[in-house]
Structure 1
Amino acid sequence: MNGHTAVNGKVVVITGGARGIGLATATALAALGARIAIGDVDETTVKETGTAHDFEVYGHLDVTDAASFEQFLDEVERTIGPIDVLINNAGIMPTGKLVDEPDQVTRRILDINVYGVILGTKLGVARMLPRGSGHIINIASLAGETHLPGLATYNASKHAVLGFTDTLGEEYRGTGVRFSSVLPTLTNTELLSGVQSKGVMRAAEPEDIAAAVIGLIAKPRAKVRVTKLAGFISQAVGLLPQSAGDALGRALGSGQAFLGDVDAEERKKYERRARGERAD
């Protein structure tokens, strides 16, 4: 089944859909005939984006709030029908050493990146199981298979998403509901503001992730890594003794990419938004 045939007419919900990977995915799916609903905690931006792209449903969605999530999904099903695909994309990536990370930032990362994914999945599956069909796609990260200094809590959150999603694939085997993880490498969105991407691996583009999602809808499988080269290196490093894998990571530039090499001034706007602080 090709991407257009698989996607055409499907009702797709995307969290964190106002910008970045979420928006690129929504745009690509809409071009193939999907009926799109995007939710985002940034109410102003999601309304501007939804209006500009003429998506069927768009509005405020706080993935850490069960009532907000339930109400959004209710609106989608009232407006455009039963949800076929739920893409849990919302996530944040504050950087820095663990001892410098305020407790409220640690909790915010876990609330959005882990609890938000678990909550969205739970609510989505509850709607899909009675119909015997549906697809949950969780946007994880290659950081969920590796470890990057300066991203300890973020790494932990993505390891959690992978373990969670893989487990559900077995827990609900045979029900008609499918579960997939997408593992992007560093991607050119606001999350990379001020981060110097070095080494042999190019950063992915949001459109690369969107293409991977389309491929998963057309042919569901447990996970897909983006880019292929980054995914291959991640898997290869995982087979090495940890000391050797760490040495290879340093050689590829991971040791300082999210610490000393970060342009703090360039990254300041994203960090404040990710940390839930008011902008200047």
Structure 2
Amino acid sequence: MAQSLRGWNAIVTGAGKGIGKAIAEHLAKEGVNLGLVARTESDLRQVADSIRTAYGVSVYTSAADIADRASIESAIAQLKDQLGSVDVLINNAGTAKFGSVLDMPVEEWERIIQVNLLGTYYATRAILPHMVERNRGHIVNISSTAGEKGNATTSAYSASKFGLLGFTESLMYEVRKHNIRVMAILPSTVNTELARNVGLKLGDEDHQMQPEDVAELVIDSLRLPNRVLLKSATLIMTNPQ
């Protein structure tokens, strides 16, 4: 029987827009109190105000750059103190740019690794002792189908997402003895501002994956009985244009 999430506390990174915003809204709908992280304070305030009004849960925010270790560690500590405890960490914050190995500036290549891989590591490491002490917790890492298959011009993005999958699986085996579930969600192209900004081809709503589709899968994975976990799940479009 699926478990209720009501009364849980969750931290969501990259919560200002797109997939992170959709996940935050779906968690709130389930009665989960939230700590939201993003780089832009105005985006966080807008999402937080909307969620409080719609669902009546507690929502706290902290602006931080996930690629900056001190910044994200401070944000996680602040939100943990405000929430009182943390049951769920959603590592969603990410970035993308595409280009060949020789054409992409080294600084851009490094930034993608810093955000998508190191940022997830920093956020996870900041909350993990708390989860180990409580002997329970749930960590969901939003990866990508680019973490399963490389393509021309995706070397940086694919490297970050391949790395994220390796980190997720290794951590899962490491901490499941503490009743901590670590899971990876791998969507293909989602209709987000990020996808549009990097020039990915998007179809109409009936064909194109939406942020809400990813959020639904995250909720379903959390509602599984604690005795099992969804190791990873790939989400693709049924009939892409």
Structure 1-normalised TM-score? 0.76
2:4 to 3, 6, 12: 6
Q: Is the 8 A contact 1:63 1:116 kept in 2?
A: yes
Letter in 1 for 2:231: A
Deviations 1:201-251 (A, max 9, x none): 943110010001001111232111213759xxxxxxxxxxxxxxxxxxxxx
Instruction: Classify the secondary structure of the residue corresponding to 1:174.
Output: helix
2:63 matches 1:65: no
Equivalent residue in structure 1 for 2:188, among 181, 185, 188: 185
Structure number, greater radius of gyration: 1
Q: Aligned to 1:136, what secondary structure does the other structure show? A: strand
Q: Give the aligned length.
A: 228
Structure 1 residues without counterparts, runs of 5 or longer? 231-251, 254-280
| Equivalent-residue separation in structure 2 for 1:136 and 1:160 (angstroms) | 16
What code does the residue aligned with 1:29 have?
L
Distance (Å, rounded) in 2 between the aligned partners of 1:228 and 1:188? 11
2:234 paired residue number:
225
Distance change in 2, residues 1:147/1:80 (3 Å): same
The alpha-carbon distance between structure 1 residues 78 and 124, as it changes in their structure 2 partners (threshold 3 A), is closer
2:174 pairs, out of 161, 164, 171, with: 171
Q: Measure the CA separation in 1 of the matches of 2:64 and 2:30.
A: 25
CA distance in 2, matches of 1:188, 1:80: 31
Match of 1:86 in 2: 89
Structure 2 equivalent of residue 48 of structure 1: 46
Q: Take 1:77 and 1:92, find their aligned partners in 2: how far apart are those partners?
A: 25
Correspondence for 2:208: 203
More helix by share: 1
Q: Separation in 2 of the partners of 1:133 and 1:99?
A: 45
Unaligned runs of 5+ in 2: 53-57
Distance 2:211 2:117 in 1: 21
Q: CA deviation at 1:77?
A: 2.2
The amino acid that maps onto 2:230 is R
CA-atom RMSD in angstroms: 2.0
- For residue 172 of structure 1, give the secondary structure of its aligned residue in structure 2: helix
Instruction: Give the Cα separation in 1 of the matches to 2:127 and 2:77.
Output: 11
